Amino acid sequence: MKDFIIIGAGQSGLSMAYNLTQHNKDYLILDANDAIGAPWLKRWDSLTLFTPTEYNHLPSMPFPFPKGFYPNKYQVADYLKQYVEKFAIPIEFNQKIISIKKVNGVFEITSNTAQYQAKQVIVATGPFHTPFTPACHTDIAEDIIQIHSENYKNPSQLQTGDCLVVGAGDSGVQILSEIADTGANVYFSGSDKIKAIPQTFLGKTLWWWFSKIGFLSVNRYSRIGKWLSKGVQPVIGTDVKSLLAKTNVTHMGRTLSADQHSITFQKGTVSSIKNIIWATGFKPNFFWIDGISFDEMNYPSNYRGVSNDIEGLYFIGLPWLYTRGSATLGGVWKDAEYLMNYIECNQLQNPSQYTEVKVTQAA
């Protein structure tokens, strides 16, 4: 029996673990992977953060690179490993949680190999669970290579011939740029109204401007926050206009259907494609938690991470859990400290009343 069990050892789970350690709580992290940083290392080889060093700190341990530096996935994974070592955070790996139930006031947590009990549970599995691929992918010929962005590493995975990249988010645009740089003929499927913003402006980083104008602190319950959280997130750091203007890049609009080697788009049909990268995102999956309700995006119903359904159940690391920075490496600490303060002062009957908590990052 633990006071707390945290599900997930990413930046969200580690931020929460730091706070529990500071308050001398008896806790354990359970993680489905075999090592810290594994989800980062699984992503494509050239991945770098959109946020510079000064916006990537977890509590009480600065990210160990100069200001203005944009770390790659290997450096992020190494930072998380160092964090675990510094604070001696207890983790059990290879524990994929398949069920959480609260029985007689105690949480019963079942993994693929073991069972655990806890008085309270913090779910820190993030938003990226089930890779989403459009239904038409099953209508495509078997000799065409299909890779979801979750499993894409680099262009060496592709066979000779034309390539299609589907998805107009950051992942899709970055992968499109990387493949186009090889000289291959690339078709792009996605909206032609991509909003793109540079990483620097007037000598300052984008995140400096975001911080200056208060964008990072706007909460999802404000009028501006509601508008921002419902909108399409802009692509950061890629010159999309120049990318789509390359002679070996052809924008086809949205993908409509497929029939073996023929793939039909808004702007026509192509029959020469040999490789497809589906950068089409992920669907959340929290249906393994018994007794909770969901919002319109299939995320658990909560207020600032406090479950609306089950006392003692918390969530952290979700997009716009409270602000734009809630799911970022350097922003999740605010939600972690809020939850810790809430847990310590958990005498209120209505979590939605608990709104005025002063949050300050540890130096």
Indicate whether 231 pLDDT > 70: no
Mean pLDDT in residue range 124-142: 93
pLDDT tens-place string over residues 173-195: 999 999 999 999 999 999 877 88
pTM of the model: 0.89
Mean pLDDT in residue range 103-124: 97
Classify domain 2-129+284-353 at the CATH superfamily level. FAD/NAD(P)-binding domain (3.50.50.60)
Nearest to 273 by CA among 259, 286, 256, 253: 259
Q: Which residue has the higher pLDDT, 351 or 104?
A: 104
Tokens 């913003």: give the residue: 197
Confidence label for 127 from pLDDT (cuts 50, 70 and 90):
confident
At residue 207, the pLDDT reads 67
Q: What percent of the chain has pLDDT over 70?
A: 94
User: How wide is the angle at C-alpha 45 spanned by C-alphas 48 and 170, nearest 5°?
Assistant: 50
pLDDT tens-place string over residues 316-334: 999 989 888 888 898 999 9
Mean pLDDT in residue range 10-32: 97
At residue 6, the pLDDT reads 98
pLDDT tens-place string over residues 202-220: 777 776 777 777 777 788 8
Indicate whether 351 pLDDT > 60: no
At residue 353, the pLDDT reads 47
Indicate whether 355 pLDDT > 50: no
* 188 touches 165 (CB < 8 A): yes
Domain 132-195+232-278 is found in CATH 3.40.190.170: no
Task: Say yes or no: do domains 2-129+284-353 and 132-195+232-278 share a fold.
Answer: yes
At residue 204, the pLDDT reads 73
Indicate whether 133 pLDDT > 70: yes
Tokens 């980083």: give the residue: 205
**Per-domain residue ranges of the chain:** 2-129+284-353, 132-195+232-278
Q: Which residues contact 71 (CB under 8 A, 6 or more apart)?
A: 48, 49, 53, 56, 63, 65, 79
* Four-residue CA torsion sign, 116, 122, 126, 127: positive
Confidence label for 346 from pLDDT (cuts 50, 70 and 90):
confident
Three-class HEC string of the chain: CEEEEEECCCHHHHHHHHHHHHCCCCEEEECCCCCCCHHHHCCCCCCECCCCHHHCCECCECCCCCCCCCCEHHHHHHHHHHHHHHHCCCEECCCCEEEEEEECCEEEEEECCCEEEEEEEEECCCCCCEECCCHHHHHECCCCEEEECCCCCCHHHCCCCEEEEECCCHHHHHHHHHHHCCCCCEEEECCCCCCEECCEECCEEHHHHHHHHCHHHCECCCHHHHHHHHCCCCEECCCHHHHHCCCCEEECCCEEEEEECEEEECCEEECCEEEEEECCCEECCCCCECCCCECCCCCECEECCEECCCCCEEECCCCCCCEHHHHCCCCHHHHHHHHHHHHHCCCCCCHHHCCCCCCCCCC
89: tokens are 């955070």
Mean pLDDT over the full length of the chain: 90
177: tokens are 């740029």
At residue 233, the pLDDT reads 73
Confidence label for 63 from pLDDT (cuts 50, 70 and 90):
very high
Indicate whether 349 pLDDT > 60: no
